[in-house]
């Protein structure tokens, strides 16, 4: 695409994000970007824009040669992938906010970009208004990222804040998240962690060059968290958050997961409330950096789409530097996690699977323990999210294999065995 050109946009979707983008573009005439046509699924729905703008025929956008950019913000992942593939093969640059589609089709999307040489940008697909993808691509263009720890789903963070700070019920908090346009059309995607793991699969690529289907990443959502867990957290001066984390291990492989986690009050992520997202990056020399911003909602998400549209004027493309120009890292589940599990009955807990249990409370109705498990055990089994059991990670949960060996050796020494 030639630089600084007029952008003529074909927009797919006019929901929370699509309508937000329409309004935002009207307020930024300096961008020289106009929406020529909007393709929608339901023609009978009342829309806040002139009727002539809308069509239900995708070909009207995809085959229109005057349209040089397709913006795709629909929530049907399969339809979105088809639109993106046709648009790029027809020579159009694409901006997308479809996290599920991007996470599930990453290999094909990488191929499409190599094959066509066209830009495909998706900053809105992770942490909405926080420019995390471009930062990981451009600023951390090196091999020094030690870890990333983030809140990447606005709805679950909103629900946890409303439940534990404002004493709303789970159902009322979820309803509010839906009314405010934060939740997915199927809120199970938010609540059970699917949306967060999709975003994490995308960010793992830009951070570490890892291309992994979200099914292969250890995750759950906030569906099993109980009020009693929040009480334990309060007693220990901790918060409960849904945290996505990736950490480079001593052998260079990467541990990555999305799980509820206890967060200390003095950690930056403890400060992230409601629909806000936050990302803490730890890198060599810079130490810790914290990015904070709205992670859901119409205008915050549209602002990221707008920034991608703007970047297209300068032919910006992701270079996937960690994947193509460095040695990509490998994901592993061969490490250990320090976990808290609360449960109704001991019979639901396979105690033999723990490396060790260092704390347990069995007196009240709701029992809990704190112990160490192999991460592979959690990925391959599901006892920890069944029968009302609730697993929450300790504040600094990742234990390297090498540390496990040393810890075990020390405890044997202390016990006088060796
Ligand atoms: N449902 C998503 C969230 C929207 O709550 O984070 C933004 O991706």
CATH number for position 360? 3.30.70
* Count of structural domains within the chain: 2
Start-to-end C-alpha separation, the chain: 69
CA distance 246 to 254: 7
Give the nearest ligand 1 atom to 155 CA. Answer: 5
Phi and psi angles of residue 137, each rounded to the nearest 5 degrees, phi first:
-65, -50
Specify if 116 maps to a domain: yes
Specify if 385 maps to a domain: yes
- The reply to whether ligand 1 has any atom less than 6 angstroms from the CB of 182 is yes
Condensed to tens digits (0 to 9), the pLDDT of residues 314-359 reads 889 999 999 999 888 999 999 999 999 999 999 999 999 999 999 9
pLDDT beneath 50, residues of the chain: 1-3
Condensed to tens digits (0 to 9), the pLDDT of residues 135-148 reads 999 998 877 899 99
Q: Report the pLDDT value the prediction gives residue 402, as an integer from 0 to 100.
A: 87
Ligand 1 centroid, distance to 35 Cα (angstroms): 24
Specify if 182 maps to a domain: no
Q: Report the pLDDT value the prediction gives residue 409, as an integer from 0 to 100.
A: 79
- Burial group, residue 79, by CB count within 10 angstroms (0-12, 13-18, 19+): middle
Ligand 1 centroid, distance to 133 Cα (angstroms): 16
Specify if 31 maps to a domain: yes
Final residue of a domain: which of 127, 147, 182? Answer: 127
Within 8 A by CB and 6+ apart from 79, the residues are none
Mutate to test the pocket of ligand 1, among 158, 182, 189 (most ligand atoms within 8 A of CB): 182
- The reply to whether ligand 1 has any atom less than 6 angstroms from the CB of 190 is yes
Which residues are paired to 324 by β-bridges?
A: none
CA distance 332 to 287: 24
CA distance 264 to 24: 37
Looking up residue 117, the CATH number of its domain turns out to be 3.40.50.720
Phi and psi angles of residue 267, each rounded to the nearest 5 degrees, phi first:
-85, 145
Task: Note the Cα 27 to chain centre separation in Å.
Answer: 29
Catalytic residue check, 199: yes
Specify if 47 maps to a domain: yes
Give the nearest ligand 1 atom to 157 CA. Answer: 5
Ligand 1 centroid, distance to 407 Cα (angstroms): 40
Specify if 286 maps to a domain: no
Final residue of a domain: which of 68, 100, 127? Answer: 127
Specify if 156 maps to a domain: no
Instruction: Give the side-chain half-sphere CA count within 13 A for 86.
Output: 16
Say which of 37, 92, 100, 199 is annotated catalytic. Answer: 199
Can you tell me which residue has the tokens 């099914």? 215
Which residues are paired to 374 by β-bridges?
A: 336
Ligand 1 centroid, distance to 372 Cα (angstroms): 31
Q: Report the pLDDT value the prediction gives residue 4, as an integer from 0 to 100.
A: 62
Range of the domain at 348: 336-414
Tokens at residue 175, please? Answer: 């309803």
3-state SS class at 252: coil
Q: Report the pLDDT value the prediction gives residue 414, as an integer from 0 to 100.
A: 74
> pTM for the whole thing?
0.96
Final residue of a domain: which of 87, 102, 127? Answer: 127
Specify if 225 maps to a domain: no
Please give the DSSP secondary-structure letter assigned to residue 224. T
- The reply to whether ligand 1 has any atom less than 6 angstroms from the CB of 128 is yes
Q: Report the pLDDT value the prediction gives residue 1, as an integer from 0 to 100.
A: 47
């Amino acid at each position: 695409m030639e630089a600084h050109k007029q952008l003529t946009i074909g927009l797919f979707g006019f929901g929370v994000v699509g309508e937000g983008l329409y309004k935002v573009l009207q307020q930024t005439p300096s961008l020289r970007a106009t929406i020529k046509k909007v393709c929608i699924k339901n023609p009978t729905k009342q829309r806040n824009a002139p009727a002539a703008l809308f069509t239900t025929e995708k070909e009207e956008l995809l085959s229109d040669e005057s349209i040089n950019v397709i913006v795709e913000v629909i929530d049907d992942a399969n339809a979105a992938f088809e639109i993106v593939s046709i648009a790029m093969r027809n020579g159009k640059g694409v901006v997308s906010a479809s996290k599920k589609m991007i996470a599930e089709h990453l290999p094909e999307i990488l191929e499409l970009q190599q094959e066509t040489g066209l830009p495909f940008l998706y900053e809105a697909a992770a942490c909405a208004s926080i420019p995390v993808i471009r930062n990981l691509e451009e600023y951390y263009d090196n091999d020094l990222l030690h870890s990333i720890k983030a809140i990447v789903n606005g709805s679950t963070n909103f629900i946890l804040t409303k439940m534990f700070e404002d004493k709303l019920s789970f159902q009322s908090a979820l309803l509010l998240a839906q009314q405010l346009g934060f939740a997915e059309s199927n809120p199970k995607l938010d609540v059970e962690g699917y949306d967060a793991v999709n975003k994490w699969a995308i960010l793992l690529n830009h951070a570490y060059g890892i291309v992994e289907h979200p099914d292969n990443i250890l995750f759950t959502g906030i569906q099993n968290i109980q009020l009693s867990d929040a009480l334990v957290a309060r007693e220990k001066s901790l918060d409960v958050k849904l945290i996505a984390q990736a950490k480079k291990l001593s052998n260079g492989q990467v541990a990555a997961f999305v799980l509820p986690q206890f967060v200390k009050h003095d950690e930056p992520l403890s400060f992230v409330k409601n629909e806000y997202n936050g990302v803490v990056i730890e890198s060599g020399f810079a130490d810790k950096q914290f990015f904070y911003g709205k992670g859901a909602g119409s205008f915050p998400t549209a602002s990221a789409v707008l920034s991608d549209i703007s970047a297209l004027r300068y032919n910006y493309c992701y270079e996937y530097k960690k994947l193509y120009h460095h040695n990509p890292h490998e994901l592993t589940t061969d490490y250990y996690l320090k976990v808290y599990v609360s449960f109704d009955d001991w019979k639901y807990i396979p105690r033999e699977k723990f490396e060790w249990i260092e704390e347990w409370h069995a007196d009240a109705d709701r029992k809990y323990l704190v112990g160490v498990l192999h991460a592979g055990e959690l990925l391959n089994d599901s006892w920890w999210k069944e029968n009302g059991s609730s697993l929450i990670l300790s504040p600094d949960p990742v234990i390297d294999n090498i540390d496990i060996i040393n810890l075990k050796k020390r405890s044997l020494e202390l016990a006088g065995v060796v």
